[in-house]
């Protein structure tokens, strides 16, 4: 297919996302970057880990997205006493018929908010992450498919560590992106204040439906990526594993314990294509990769004790890599 034909399809398909953004903005003040990243996660069929202090409208953002997409929505509050069956469901025995029937859990929805995922023990986290990976759960002796689309936004509070169960690196790696939500600006907070004090709750209009997501995914997959951009992604990933191979990055060798996994390579390419699609472009440019790189890779780099002693973060490492790897 010619690039002109793909461009026409992309423009026709993605223009409705501007309407989605406008509708969300009726409820959410600011946070446009977070909303765009969540749209990327939804369209790329990936899940998001969102880190931020309480009160920054994390719950409101995903419930608003579900309303605009006319999708089913479920919120799961993770607590230390939660059991896997509380998420996935279980088998219920009917004494009259002598048979078991399936009692589906809250995970059977299109959009899932896993609130404060690090407050539940690992067996509960694993139940959710298995469902995220396989898009199915096992109840009794049968597997039950989850709805399509199936999108999970998990949140964690960075300021409270007591009574939490940090996600192991192998589980964190399953998240498509890790986002950090920030405080609103002074002007944005004034608008939030005025809106919440004066206005009645806003009823969001349904702009799309879940089936539209699959149609957009098919068009998004047509977005073209040049081989030199694929090589650029490979070099960014390789630099996290073997910085000594790049003369200007050799100082990073002692700071990185483990580089990113091959899953990161796939996710970065997919995220870049989706970023281009959201921009109404039928082709990926280097700025797409650079814009999304830290969100995809920040939680996949495991730092050494030396880096922690120097108070360096994975974002500091990625900034160095992005500055030094030659852009095609």
Q: Break the chain into its structural domains and give their ranges.
A: 19-209, 223-324
Residue 137: its pLDDT value, please? Answer: 87
Give the bridge partners for 50, in sequence order.
Answer: 155, 179
| Residue 202 pLDDT > 80 | no
In eight-state DSSP terms, residue 250 is: G
Q: Are 59 and 91 in contact (CB under 8 A)?
A: no
List Cβ neighbours of 165 (8 Å cut-off, separation of 6 or more): 118, 119, 120, 121, 122, 125
> What is the model's pLDDT at position 75?
94
Q: How many helices (H) and strands (E) does the chain have?
A: 14, 11
Predicted confidence (pLDDT) at residue 89 exceeds the cutoff of 90? no
Closest CA to 156 of 61, 48, 236, 271: 48
> Which pLDDT score, from 0 to 100, does residue 119 have?
87
From 171-185, 192-206, 280-294, 300-314, the region with the lowest mean pLDDT: 192-206
| pLDDT at 101 exceeding the cut of 80 | no
Residue 163 has pLDDT above 80, yes or no: no
In this prediction, residue 130 carries a pLDDT of 80
Fold (topology level) of 223-324: Helicase, Ruva Protein; domain 3 (1.10.8)
Residue 96: pLDDT over 90: no
Q: Which two tokens stand for residue 91?
A: 């088998």
pLDDT band at 194 (very low <50, low <70, confident <90, very high): confident
Confidence (pLDDT) at 199: 66
At residue 157's C-alpha, the angle toward residues 85 and 25, to 5°, is 95
In Å, what is the CA distance from 173 to each residue of 46, 251, 328?
A: 12, 25, 28
C-beta separation of 297 from 268 below 8 A? yes
The yes-or-no verdict on residue 168 having pLDDT over 70 is yes
- Residue with tokens 């191979």, as numbered in its chain: 245
Mean pLDDT of the chain: 89
* Residue 261 confidence (pLDDT) above 70: yes
Whether 195 has a pLDDT exceeding 90, the answer reads: no
Q: Which residues pair with 94 in a beta bridge?
A: 99
Cβ neighbours for 129, distance < 8 A, ≥ 6 positions apart: 171, 174
Average pLDDT over residues 235-257: 91
What local confidence, expressed as pLDDT, does residue 294 receive?
95
pLDDT value, residue 141: 74
- Residue 160 has what pLDDT? 66
CATH class of 19-209: alpha beta
**102 has pLDDT over 80:** no
Name, in order, each residue with C-beta under 8 angstroms of 290's C-beta and a sequence gap of 6 or more.
322, 327
Q: How confident is the model at residue 162 (pLDDT cuts 50, 70, 90)?
A: low
pLDDT digits (tens, 9 = 90+) for 262-278: 999 999 999 999 999 99
* The pLDDT value given to residue 132: 87
Parallel, antiparallel, or unpaired: how do β-strands 99-104 and 111-115 relate?
A: unpaired
The H-or-E segment that residue 322 falls in is helix 314-324
CB contact burial 72-81 (16+ within 10 A = b; e otherwise)? ebbebebeee
Exposed, middle or buried by CB within 10 Å (0-12, 13-18, 19+), for 38? buried
How many residues are recorded in the chain? 328
What's the whole-number mean pLDDT along residues 116-141?
84
pLDDT exceeds 80 at position 327: yes
105-119, 124-138, 159-173, 277-291: least confident range: 159-173
């Amino acid at each position: 297919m010619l690039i002109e034909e793909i461009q026409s399809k992309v423009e026709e398909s993605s223009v409705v996302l501007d309407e989605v953004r406008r509708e969300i903005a009726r409820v959410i003040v600011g946070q446009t970057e977070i909303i765009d990243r969540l749209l990327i996660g939804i369209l790329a069929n990936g899940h998001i880990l969102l880190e931020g202090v309480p009160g920054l409208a994390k719950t409101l953002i995903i419930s608003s997205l579900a309303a605009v997409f006319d999708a089913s929505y479920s919120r799961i509050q993770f607590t230390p006493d939660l059991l896997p069956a509380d998420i996935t469901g279980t088998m219920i025995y009917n004494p009259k018929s002598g048979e078991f029937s399936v009692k589906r859990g809250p995970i059977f929805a299109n959009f899932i908010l896993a609130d404060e995922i690090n407050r539940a023990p690992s067996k509960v986290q694993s139940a959710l992450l298995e469902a995220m990976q396989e898009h199915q759960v096992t109840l009794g002796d049968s597997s039950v498919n989850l709805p399509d689309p199936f999108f999970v936004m998990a949140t964690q509070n960075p300021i409270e560590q007591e009574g939490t169960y940090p996600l192991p690196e192998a589980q964190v790696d399953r998240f498509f992106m890790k986002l950090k939500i920030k405080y609103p600006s002074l002007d944005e907070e004034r608008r939030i204040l005025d809106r919440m004090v004066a206005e009645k709750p806003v009823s969001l209009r349904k702009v799309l439906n879940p089936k539209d997501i699959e149609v957009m995914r098919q068009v998004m997959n047509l977005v073209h990526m040049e081989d030199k951009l694929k090589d650029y992604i490979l070099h960014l990933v390789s630099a996290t594993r073997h910085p000594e191979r790049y003369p200007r990055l050799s100082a990073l060798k002692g700071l990185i314990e483990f580089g990113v996994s091959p899953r990161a390579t796939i996710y970065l390419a997919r995220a870049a294509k989706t970023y281009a699609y959201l921009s109404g472009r039928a082709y990926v440019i280097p700025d797409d990769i650079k814009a999304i790189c830290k969100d995809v890779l920040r939680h996949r780099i495991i730092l050494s004790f030396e880096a922690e002693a120097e108070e360096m973060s994975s974002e500091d490492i990625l900034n160095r890599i992005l500055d030094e790897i030659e852009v095609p």
